[in-house]
Chain A
Amino acid sequence: MTVAARAAAGDAPPADEAAAGEHAISTEGLTKRFRGGQLAVDHIGLAVPRGSVYGFLGPNGSGKTTTIRMLLGLVHPTEGSLRLLGADLRDGLDPVLPKVGALVEGPAYYPFLSGWQNLARLDAADRSADPRTARSRIDHALDQVGLLAAADKRYRAYSLGMKQRLGIAAALLRPRELMVLDEPTNGLDPQGTREIRALIRHIAADGTTVFVSSHLLAEVEQICTHVGVMSQGRLAFQGTLALLRSRGEPRIGIRTAQPAAAAGVLARLGLADIDADGTRVTARLGGQAPEHVNAELVRSGVPVSGLETIRPSLEDLFVELTGEGFDVTG
Chain B
Amino acid sequence: MSPARRAAAGLARWPRYYRSELRIAFGRPRNLLMLAALAGAPVFFGIVLKVNTPEPGAGGPSGAGEFIGQVAENGVFLSLLAIYALLTVLLPLAVAVVSGDSVAGEAGMGTLRTMLTVPAGRLRLVATKYATIVTFSLAACLIVAGMGLLMGVILFPVGRVTLLSGDTVPLADGLGRLALIVGYVAAGLASLGAIGLALSTFTQHPIAVMAATLVVVIISEILDAISQVGAIHPYLPTHFWFSFDALLRTPIAWPQILHGLASFAAYAVIFAGAALVRIRRADVTC
Contacts and interface: CB of A to CB of B under 8 A. Distances in A.
A95 B4 CA distance: 12
Contact of A124 (B16, B28, B29): B16
B184 to A, nearest CB: 32
Interface in B1-51: 1, 3, 6, 9-10, 13-14, 16-17, 19-20, 23-24, 27-29
A170 B114 CA distance: 9
A105 interface: yes
Contacts of B24: 110, 113, 121
Interface in A91-142: 93-95, 97-98, 100, 102, 104-110, 112-113, 120-122, 124-129, 131
Contacts, number: 96
Given A69-B285, A110-B24, A127-B17, A122 B115 contact: yes
A76 interface: yes
A250 interface: no
Count class of interface residues, chain A: 35 or more
A75 interface: yes
A125 B28 contact: no
B119 interface: yes
Contact of B28 (A34, A74, A105, A112): A112
B201 to A, nearest CB: 14
A182 to B, nearest CB: 10
A129 B202 CA distance: 30
A25 interface: no
Contact of B284 (A75, A97, A98, A124): A75
A128 B1 contact: yes
Nearest to A66: B285
A302 interface: no
Tell me what chain A mostly uses at the interface: helix, strand, loop, or mixed: loop
Interface of A: 34, 66, 69, 72-76, 93-95, 97-98, 100, 102, 104-110, 112-113, 120-122, 124-129, 131, 170
A128 B16 CA distance: 12
Ranked nearest first, the 4 interchain pairs of A and B with the lowest CB-CB distance are A108-B110, A124-B20, A125-B120, A127-B10
B62 interface: no
B119 A97 contact: yes
Nearest to B123: A94
A93 B118 CA distance: 11
Interface string B93-123: 0000000000000000111011111111100
Contact of A125 (B27, B29, B115): B115
A125 B6 contact: no
Given A98-B119, A110-B24, A110-B111, A127 B284 contact: no
Contacts of A129: 13
